Amino acid sequence: MSMEADYVIVGSGSAGSAMAFRLAEAGKSVIVIEAGGTDAGPLIQMPAALSYPMNMPIYDWGYTTEPEPHLNNRRLAAPRGKVLGGSSSINGMVYVRGHARDYDHWAESGADGWAYADVLPYFKRMEGWTAGESDWRGKDGPLTVSRGPRTNPLFHAFVEAGAQAGFETTDDYNGEKQEGFGAMEATIRKGRRWSAAKAYLEPAKKTGHCTVLRGLAEKVVIEQGRARGVAVARSGRTDVVRAREEVILAASAFNSPKLLMLSGIGPAAHLAEHDIEVIADRPGVGSNLQDHLEFYVQQACTQPITLYKHWNLFSKAILGAQWLFTGTGLGASNQFESAAFLRSKPGVEYPDIQYHFLPFAVRYDGKAAAEGHGYQAHVGPMRARSRGTVRLRDATATAAPVIQFNYLDNEEDRADFRHCIRLTREIFAQPAFDPYRGKEIKPGASVQSDDEIDAVIAEHAESAYHPCGTAKMGRRDDPMAVVDADCKVIGVDGLRLADSSIFPRVPNGNLNGPSIMVGEKAADHILGRKLARSNAQPWINPRWQDSDR
């Protein structure tokens, strides 16, 4: 194959695949470099099997954090997809745009042209929404977005309980009104995971303008201040893939800053520690790391209606066969079919708490099923103040980066988390759950004081796997900005970066949707075009200054 193209993209994930398709569609030649292999396995394609791929070294980079000081020095799993489609091939498939105000905040903090009015047209362009008609949604885009059947009565009990507690309900949290309880959406098409590889990369290859090169990107080749290509390790040797126009990094919030630093772009003192020549001193590279931390509040269920009844090899085999041959049944859902976005207190303008509801009490990695029937809500604050870093372990491309989130480093973050636990108990105590409610499994009814709740959070909170912010977008005179509003890396010509790394602040929800949007919009910046701004005004709770509901 040719080792030269107009554009060389590192990473075939959410943003990388979207850019590859839009550039190829415009007639540009594209080479996508991907360290991982095929996404063809049934454990990736079956939505209900979502806990497996992110725990499999064949699909996952296998990163872990450094000991987290406020989480009992635990090392948390920090999975990222090492496979075609990147993390969109191993994630939970939950689709959330984020709140309109998230993007207005991006623009206010220096990402000019990335306000909600600017990004909404890109969300609409990318969506193939199957759940009805709405001026807020896109129907014809490559990314199928669907809703689960919600046949389990617990999904409806959760929404009803929210209303009984005085909170809003919403028909579409990705539309005009995010705030409230309602149906959750997923990137599932005809009972199968609809990853960025399926939605974008396969169509890009069919244009004849896009090829995928399997190999590990070692660094960006920079000559006289301009990115000219990427050094790629494959088959025991290093080749240089040349870019006639630009090199584009889309390798994740961990690997994109790592590649920048290996290429001489980053904090000068840190690069000097590893004897890397400094090409551009950008202290923001690897800083500003953010995530969503969550806790699984688990309640025993008095009726045998939860997924626990399928937690045995015989039932799994039957469900797997049903899905394999028909694409239907419980295997065709990620089981996250109800959700909520709430505000934590009066004076908070838009939601800062997210819920995923699951009719089962189990850990995300599938390792610790509760004893018997239960249900759970994944809950956590959406806009934590704590910030972390990604740093080099050494000067080689094969070494895992040093990842430190500093979760709960801020006292307000800890207070917000305690509130999330207590609020979930209030929701689970509503009449809608009376027919189902058994004992509280976790944290457990005896856990009541601030200190007791803090202790259980420190022992059991887990990452929601939403890392971002490590190469933030901002104005060129912002010393901590890494890319400008056109996604151009500041200080080097011919180099862009477009993935969740560039988010100035973590959006309100899961990150696959926003990451794909960034890829869509960045492609238009590269091609010198843009969609017209939207005049749509999102719903903001008229009681936001006086009430949390």
Q: Which residues are annotated as a binding site for FAD?
A: 83, 91-94
466 a catalytic residue: yes
Rg, Å, the chain Cα set: 22
Tokens in use for 292? 């969503």
Tokens in use for 382? 């959406």
Tokens in use for 302? 């008095």
Region class of 320: left (phi > 0), else alpha (psi between -120 and 50), else beta: alpha
CA dist 437 → 169, 380, 433 (Å): 22, 22, 6
Tokens in use for 144? 């199928």
Tokens in use for 524? 């238009």
Q: At what angle do helices 512-527 and 14-25 cross, to 10 degrees?
A: 30
Tokens in use for 221? 């080749």
Tokens in use for 141? 């885009």
C-alpha 340/C-alpha 363 separation (Å) is 20
Tokens in use for 384? 């934590």
Please name the amino acid found at residue 293: L
Number of neighbouring beta carbons within 10 Å of residue 332: 21
**Coil, strand or helix at 306:** coil
For residue 286, how far is the Cα from the chain centroid? Answer: 18
Q: Where are the alpha helices (DSSP H) in 148-283?
A: 153-164, 196, 202-206, 252-262, 268-273
For residue 520, how far is the Cα from the chain centroid? Answer: 16
Known binding residues: 83, 91-94
Q: Where are the alpha helices (DSSP H) in 399-511?
A: 411-428, 450-460
Torsion over CA: 504, 355, 519, 196 (sign)? positive
Residue 81: name the closest of 56, 113, 111 by CA. 56
Residue 103: name the closest of 116, 118, 121, 122 by CA. 116
**Coil, strand or helix at 449:** coil
For residue 516, how far is the Cα from the chain centroid? Answer: 10
Q: Are strands 280-281 and 265-266 parallel, antiparallel or unpaired?
A: parallel
DSSP structure class, residue 481:
-
**Coil, strand or helix at 545:** coil
Name the percent of the chain in helix, strand, coil, to the closest 5: 30, 25, 45
Which residues participate in catalysis according to the annotation? 466
